Amino acid sequence: MKRAALIVCLGLLACVLSFSARSQTREFPDKPLRLVVAYAPGGATDIVARMLAQELTQILGQSVIVENKAGGGTLVGSDAVRRAPADGYTLLFGTNAFIITPLLHSSPTYDPIKDFSHVSLTTIQPLALLVSPSLNIKSVQELVQYAKANPGKINFASSGNGSAQHLAGEAFRHAANIDITHVPYKGAGPALIDLLAGRVDIMFTSLVGNTDHIKHGRLIMIATTGQKRGVATPDTPSVSEFLPGYQAYTWQGVIAPAQTPESTIVKLNAAIKKATSTPAFYEKLNAQGMEVQTSSPQEMRARLAAESLEYQSLLSKTQTSLK
């Protein structure tokens, strides 16, 4: 009897050890992933995130679900990922605001370098300077002249305090020496709705999702914000042609919680590079002025660290703060 019980116990122990071994050797990913967007649905970041999620779903063999967590100038979404398990299943589709937002708060929020693992950049692009047709303004020169003649009357929308759109507008205000008012929204989508309705005047934002508005005259693109004219918009001048030295670029990229296993980061990085090289992804974005640009985790980390210093300098000039 005792011998039979011992055999049963040994059998159960073998099953447990076998199950444990199988659990430890499971390959990532073996369940759906979440890709958090720290903006409301409908803006360029949300659009690109959904395109990327669709490609990654095919490559990884698991569903990649986009989850919008707007609020706090992207703080809500970014902090949710910071606090998530470091297993690669919860990721942030971040933008420049990921770096800017902590600089706008007097009390500590998160450290974009130390509190996260950096996976890969996905895109980089200049912004478009879009104007409501109701202003009847067709150039940067006209915009600056009008703003100087009507201080405080022009307002510019952005996807939120601390967004790249916000600081592009602040940098423009500083470079042109004009008085314009910032109106923050919880994402580019809601901001564009008000721009189209004429409730706000101008906006620095992505061309992605907006080319039809420009084509049909619902919005007027008077300039782009790169060092030179964009490949997709050769007939549109850059702001720097009127204000030498002005430039503003945005990036998008994938970020994970700190201490995410290196093997997981490597696999995600490879999947992102494969996803962004597919014609469905690459060609559509390039046609709208967005350059697909991936990186190694180390390159992304270095870029973000350098940008943090640049934004600190810009914020000290514009005196933009949430304090």
Distance (Å, whole) CA 171 – CA 246: 8
Average confidence (pLDDT) over 49-53: 97
Start-end of CATH 3.40.190.10 domains in the chain: 128-241
Is 0.85 surpassed by the pTM of this model? no
Phi and psi dihedrals of 66, rounded to 5? -80, 130
Cα separations in angstroms, 133 against 101, 138, 200: 31, 9, 11
- Mean pLDDT across the stretch 5-10? 50
The segment(s) of the chain belonging to CATH 3.40.190.150 are 33-124+250-318
Name the CATH architecture for the domain at 33-124+250-318. Answer: 3-Layer(aba) Sandwich (3.40)
Report the Cα 70 to chain-centroid distance in Å: 12
| Mean per-residue pLDDT of the chain | 89
Q: Is the pLDDT of residue 15 over 70?
A: no
Per-residue pLDDT at 21 exceeds 50? no
User: Residue 37 in contact with residue 253, Cβ under 8 Å?
Assistant: no
Residues 6+ apart with CB under 8 A from 29: 60, 61, 62, 88, 89
What are the residues facing 121 on neighbouring strands? 253
pLDDT at 213: 95
Which pLDDT does position 6 carry in this prediction? Answer: 47
Q: What CATH number should be reported for the domain whose range is 128-241?
A: 3.40.190.10
Q: Are 45 and 188 contacting, i.e. CB atoms less than 8 angstroms apart? A: yes
278-291 pLDDT, tens digit per residue, is: 998 988 888 888 88
Q: How confident is the model at residue 30 (pLDDT cuts 50, 70, 90)?
A: very high
CA angle 44, 205, 81 (to 5 degrees): 50
pLDDT greater than 80 at residue 249: yes
Tell me the CA distances in angstroms from 293 to 53, 149, 222, 279, 297, one per residue in order. Answer: 17, 41, 26, 14, 13
pLDDT tens digits along 261-313: 999 999 999 999 999 999 989 888 888 888 899 999 999 999 999 999 988 88
| Tens of pLDDT, residues 173-218 | 999 999 999 999 988 889 999 999 999 999 999 888 888 999 999 9
Q: How confident is the model at residue 273, as a pLDDT?
A: 97
Residues 129/167, Cβ–Cβ less than 8 Å: no
